[in-house]
Structure 1
């Protein structure tokens, strides 16, 4: 067989499965493969088969699957995002991009790596989801205080943090100390704020690093609320999607938002601090919103949402300002490769991998594979991890 001849033994069903599990249409897969839509259709119906070169491109560059998977008798048993996440409306789920599908797949791979690296046992002394569960029928303020108590961070400590970067780093560490691993990535689908994957031993939160630090902080607690409800969650930056959800899922998303807001901006303290604003808070200055946001290490939108809940601004004013602030330039994600990669990975996971390598429990190649880096990059990465790679 030459590289131009059709490959024998490929299961058409596997080609269709591989395309659908990265959210690509036939036209999109054809464009990325540099073939016609008719070619892709013929491959998936069994009327034709790709050449070896075409199959390599499909496997490694388009569908991101091992070549061998296309010769299996049936598709592997994987849960699709549509079956796994119920917190986005069907229309929103259909709009997920290939990159988002790949990020979800990568998160599942991290969970498997966590189980292997930690020998199946979560290293946290107290696992927060076993110590604390949330209920939609109980008062939000009381439950949010229990979350804060479990994380061991007081309001006084929070208000002393000097930057959004420091706030994210401290909150993230507290969540990881509770046994929930926090990973990040720069999503190409910019409107995704994050998601979580529940698990009996290794629950995981995955944040979009392309959003601001304050947005990541809110997403961290929104997803933590999902974990404490034992519900997988996938959320977007623009909260208007919630209104299109079925009633049960709508209640879950509103509850998770309420818990996140109350943990980060306790209502009693906010009432006192916001008392100096005009009764009609729409007359407040940008500086007023910024100072309140800075106190809690949250976004101006989160502060404005609190004022909306108090009836001190209108829905139209809130939406106008939220859209305006969202359109403003987001934080840069440039800088050192090692700094960025260290921030993307769970700190506890990265330190354990580095430690196991130096205890001769993992080879350089194995450690680099777990960390998603080249072996030659390990020394520079390890230095950043041991120094503390940031939020």
Structure 2
């Protein structure tokens, strides 16, 4: 099946590719006709071109060009502070999410009023409270939710933020995402902000990242998040502020004071966060001394391996459950709606979602909010 593709888009990526036009001509039949619009490529031919010029196929389907400018994200990792060293896996995942965001921006009309609503000069307790109210969650939501991660994701979804999880690039098990490189990132937008969470992380890590990235949306800054949970965040004012708000949402001072315990293991289990977060909270609330804090963090760091997921840790459950979990339900409804109204073809839909026919069918049968 051939598709109507935007020749400007195709020309842009082909001419900006690392591979010269003359070499590309030897590898792709009818390239010049595709570029002039005289012929329309099939999906397979388009995939072939994408592969040769090293961009996600989805980009060639859009009717405008996206400059996959990975530098739009602040990037911090444990070993390096430069995005230039980002893995292909991370780059491709960001590109995949940008394709989804471009699609959503064409489908959604209204702007969200809370994107960038606060600044780092706001009162962090006030910000935490307002985010909680916006999500309509109780102060101690963990005590009411069997699965706080799913519970919070649904609440975040309800306010118009899209949340995706994956532990690999699309469906490619040979391209795992490294939790040592990044735990998640956020792509800001007034219509369709997207949070991506690295599923290779521990469950407490994923919960922390989810809230952390959500706070970034309210404060209006983009970044790739990767601090393995040592809880000591001294890089810059923005991060320090974001983490204070995150910690207050996940482990509210009022509840900690009410529980009146300094047993970090007990509190970590109660709030479903890592002990690093709790120990930090206990220090901030003057429940432990600075010296005690340093001793406890040192002990936790010595046992850090216990908190880090093993790279081989499975994402749990069947392919069916996993794909339903990974793909944002609301996003998928927009895709189905676009297919039903003939705005995009099924082939485009598979591509925008990043699944094949089998995965698409599983998502179609998902029904309500599983």
- Cα distance 1:110–1:276, how it changes in 2: closer, same or farther (>3 A)? same
Counterpart position of 2:328: 346
- Cα distance 1:204–1:291, how it changes in 2: closer, same or farther (>3 A)? same
Question: Is 1:289–2:279 an aligned residue pair?
Answer: no
- Cα distance 1:352–1:290, how it changes in 2: closer, same or farther (>3 A)? farther
Q: Distance in 2 between matches of 1:202 and 1:149?
A: 20
Q: Distance in 2 between matches of 1:307 and 1:242?
A: 13
Q: CA offsets per residue over residues 151-207 of structure 1, 9 Å max, x none?
A: 100025431223xxx101111111111111111221522220111111121111111
Contact 2:75 2:83 in 1 (8 A): no
User: Bigger CA drift: 324-333 or 343-352?
Assistant: 324-333
Contact 1:308 1:318 in 2 (8 A): no
Counterpart position of 2:134: 150
Greater share of helix: 1
- Cα distance 1:355–1:243, how it changes in 2: closer, same or farther (>3 A)? closer
Shift of 1:289: 3.3
Question: Is 1:253–2:239 an aligned residue pair?
Answer: yes
Counterpart position of 2:5: none
Question: Is 1:173–2:151 an aligned residue pair?
Answer: no
Structure 1 residue corresponding to 2:297, chosen from 286, 304, 318: 318
RMSD (CA atoms): 3.8
- Cα distance 1:87–1:190, how it changes in 2: closer, same or farther (>3 A)? closer
Could you state the TM-score of these two structures normalised by the residue count of structure 2?
Answer: 0.73
SS of the equivalent of 2:164 reads strand
Structure 2 residue corresponding to 1:160, chosen from 119, 144, 154: 144
Q: Distance in 2 between matches of 1:358 and 1:339?
A: 25
Q: Distance in 2 between matches of 1:261 and 1:154?
A: 15
Counterpart position of 1:216: 206
Q: CA offsets per residue over residues 280-326 of structure 1, 9 Å max, x none?
A: xxxxxxxx434312322322332222234344433353144142433
Could you state the TM-score of these two structures normalised by the residue count of structure 1?
Answer: 0.69
- Cα distance 1:213–1:355, how it changes in 2: closer, same or farther (>3 A)? farther
Shift of 1:334: 3.7
Structure scoring higher RCO (CA < 8 A, sep ≥ 6) equals: 2
Number of equivalenced pairs: 321
Q: Distance in 2 between matches of 1:11 and 1:216?
A: 35
Counterpart position of 1:98: 88
- Cα distance 1:316–1:107, how it changes in 2: closer, same or farther (>3 A)? farther
Question: Is 1:80–2:61 an aligned residue pair?
Answer: no
Counterpart position of 1:25: none
Contact 1:111 1:202 in 2 (8 A): yes
Q: Distance in 2 between matches of 1:198 and 1:352?
A: 19
SS of the equivalent of 2:165 reads strand
Instruction: Extract unaligned runs of 5+ from structure 1.
Output: 1-8, 17-42, 70-75, 278-287
Counterpart position of 1:264: 250
- Cα distance 1:59–1:53, how it changes in 2: closer, same or farther (>3 A)? same
Structure 1 residue corresponding to 2:193, chosen from 181, 199, 203: 203
Q: Distance in 1 between matches of 2:357 and 2:66?
A: 31
Structure 1 residue corresponding to 2:99, chosen from 101, 109, 114: 109
- Cα distance 1:113–1:338, how it changes in 2: closer, same or farther (>3 A)? farther
SS of the equivalent of 1:261 reads helix
